[in-house]
Structure 1
Amino acid sequence: MTGTDLTDAAVRAYLTRHPDATVVALGEGLGTGFWRLDNGRLSWLTVQPPETAAVRRMLLPDGARRRTVARAVADHRWLDAVREPRRGVVVAAPGVLVRLPAPAVRALVTACAERFPGGALVFDAPSWWATGVTGGHPGVAAVRARRPAGLGHRLPGLRALLPAVWEVRFAAARRGAGAGRHGGRGPAA
């Protein structure tokens, strides 16, 4: 399986549990994820920098369940564009996070964990890099790596250097803990 196949598999698995979820595709350019993964119920939000968002909207106009938001990935105001986070949110960021500084990625993980309880973040990165940016936040419930088939991923020395697709699952909202800052929204995992 390729990185795209593994990313799609992680998103599909999330959609199996939360079919009405919002998929947030960070920096997907003119990607076709919506058409590959559409289950007829999901909402799709593409987050692109303003200059590329305009091109995307021209070539792939927004639809009833598919929208483009003109924001940089590190500008967390895009989180406000998720209309119904209680239905579930999976953020897909293949090829994006490794280009950001580690503090920006940790800030993104924190923001998503706090705003999207029960959600997930899927991205690709080498093990040595991913383990440094995904841990340490109480809202992170689990981190799982999906590795492409191939000899390199079976050799311990190379395994840490080769990219894997990572799924970071966020803890579900605590029941009875009060509404909290964001209304306690989020699906049970």
Structure 2
Amino acid sequence: MAIDATQLGEVQETLLIPLYGRAVETVKPRPILRDRKAVEMVEAIDYDFARFDGGRSLSGTVLRTSIIDAWVQDFLERHPGGTVVEIGAGLNTRFERVDNGRVHWVDLDLPDAMAVRAQFFVESERRRMVAASVLDESWVAVVKTLPAPYFFISEGVLVYLEQPQVRCAVTLIAENFPGADLAMDTAGRWMIDHQDGHDAMKQVTARMRWACDDPAEVEGWGIGLRLLESGDLSRIPARLRDRVPVARRTVLRVVSLVFRQRFGGYKLNHYRA
């Protein structure tokens, strides 16, 4: 029986883009990542995924996901029994990709997205699914029951909020979980202003709201977040490099240099509270 995706809100619909990206990547001869669960979910969901075919964004979401996977794996090597919190978990399968048998995990998303997620995933002793907004303080108490240290992930989520809402969300993290790590992406003003022509964004109703040309500006918010690392999608972590063909890495680097305003305006950032 097909699962109806029309119950998803405008922003929540965007979770289907990276899901489809992972499914498409999985069936390639030399995929950067393999995600058979994504293939199963795409087949089970009643939605016109073909609207995203032909665009570069699918491979971009796969690369973004893989870079963050590498950061989480680095974290788990240092803290194998720590806790990872996936903000706006959508239909991500990161737990399945990086689970070391000891990590504690929280999937956090809005109720409609979590209702779809619950049809594919179940809770376990080390994994919780919380239906709430990141702006709702109720999730804080749930996470505090799990062992420190903490790694929070916001992948393609906070960019859809207004800046004061983003500040509220990261303040909740910084004030309640000192020492925690936070991975989140930022989009520059050019990208925000031109998203109507973006190959994937023009296929959905939701629009990114938060323009951030310099990820270091978050340090100036006075909430205790320090920027450890920031770069565009051409900055491939060492543990991922062998899975990204040399030709593709070269193209990414050239595009990053030549189209810095467009490509370089999108950043993946690693902060610590």
Match for 1:137: what amino acid?
A: G
Q: How does 1:9-88 map to 2 (within 5 A)?
A: 9-84=70-145, 87-88=148-149
1:84-134 deviations in Å (ceiling 9; x for gaps): 465211111100010011111111222111111111111112350634445
Q: Identity across aligned pairs (percent)?
A: 34
Partner SS for 2:112: helix
TM superposition shift of 1:23: 0.7
Match for 2:75: what amino acid?
A: Y
Kindly indicate which of the two structures has a greater share of residues assigned to helix.
2
Structure with higher RCO (Cα < 8 A, 6+ apart):
1
**Which of structure 1's runs of 4+ aligned residues deviate more than 4 A?**
none
- The number of equivalent residue pairs is 170
TM superposition shift of 1:153: 2.3
1:165-184 deviations in Å (ceiling 9; x for gaps): 111111xxxxxxxxxxxxxx
Aligned residues of 1:134 and 1:168 also touching (Cα < 8 A): no
Could you say which residue in structure 2 is the equivalent of 1:169?
A: 272
Could you say which residue in structure 2 is the equivalent of 1:92?
A: 153
Compared with structure 1, are the counterparts of its residues 138 and 101 closer, same or farther at alpha carbon in structure 2 (3 Å cutoff)? closer
Aligned residues of 2:81 and 2:147 also touching (Cα < 8 A): no
Aligned residues of 1:126 and 1:161 also touching (Cα < 8 A): no
Structure 2 stretches of 5 or more lacking a match? 1-31, 33-62, 189-212, 235-251
Q: Please, what TM-score do these two structures have when normalized by structure 2? A: 0.56
Q: Please, what TM-score do these two structures have when normalized by structure 1? A: 0.79
Could you say which residue in structure 1 is the equivalent of 2:224?
A: 139
Compared with structure 1, are the counterparts of its residues 143 and 101 closer, same or farther at alpha carbon in structure 2 (3 Å cutoff)? farther
The structure whose Rg is larger is 2
Aligned residues of 1:110 and 1:137 also touching (Cα < 8 A): no
Structure 1 stretches of 5 or more lacking a match? 171-189
TM superposition shift of 1:17: 2.0
Compared with structure 1, are the counterparts of its residues 36 and 49 closer, same or farther at alpha carbon in structure 2 (3 Å cutoff)? same
1:124-177 deviations in Å (ceiling 9; x for gaps): 12350634445332522334213322123234842675322111111xxxxxxx
